[in-house]
Amino acid sequence: DQQVKQNSPSLSVQEGRISILNCDYTNSMFDYFLWYKKYPAEGPTFLISISSIKDKNEDGRFTVFLNKSAKHLSLHIVPSQPGDSAVYFCAASAEKSSGDKLTFGTGTRLAVRP
C-alpha cells in the first residue's frame, strides 16, 4: 500500500501562472516532508522541505504547505517558468535523520507552457 500518493500524474500550466502540485500521505508517523525535482536524464534534486511543526515553508518562488489533519501537502510555484518543467516527487519520513526510511510518491510531471 502506497503511503505517499501523488494522484495527478501530470499538470500543465501557463508561464507566469501558479503551479500547484499535491501530495497525500497515510502514515500519521510522518513528520518530515520533502519535494524533489527531476529533469530527464538527471537524478532527482532536492527542492524544499517542511517539518510537521510548521504549516508553511517558503523559498523564493517555491512554497510548501502542510495540512497535518488532512494528511496533505502541496507545492506552489509562483510564477511558473518553462524551466520548472520537470517531474516533481513528494517524499516523507518519520524521523529527521532517517534517510534510510524515506518514502517517495510516484511523481507529477509539470509542463509549463510559454
Partner 1 sequence: ETGVTQTPRHLVMGMTNKKSLKCEQHLGHNAMYWYKQSAKKPLELMFVYNFKEQTENNSVPSRFSPECPNSSHLFLHLHTLQPEDSALYLCASSERLALEQYFGPGTRLTVT
How many residues at the interface with partner 1, by CB under 8 A?
Answer: 27
Which of 80, 105, 108, 110 is in the footprint of partner 1 by CB under 8 A?
105
Determine the Cα–Cα distance for residues 77 and 20; give it in Å rounded to an integer: 7
Which of 54, 82, 98, 113 is in the footprint of partner 1 by CB under 8 A?
98
Closest CA to 6 of 102, 95, 74, 94: 74
62 binds partner 1 (CB under 8 A): no
Q: What cell was used for 87?
A: 517531474
Which of 7, 18, 106, 113 is in the footprint of partner 1 by CB under 8 A?
106
CB 18, min distance to partner 1, A = 25
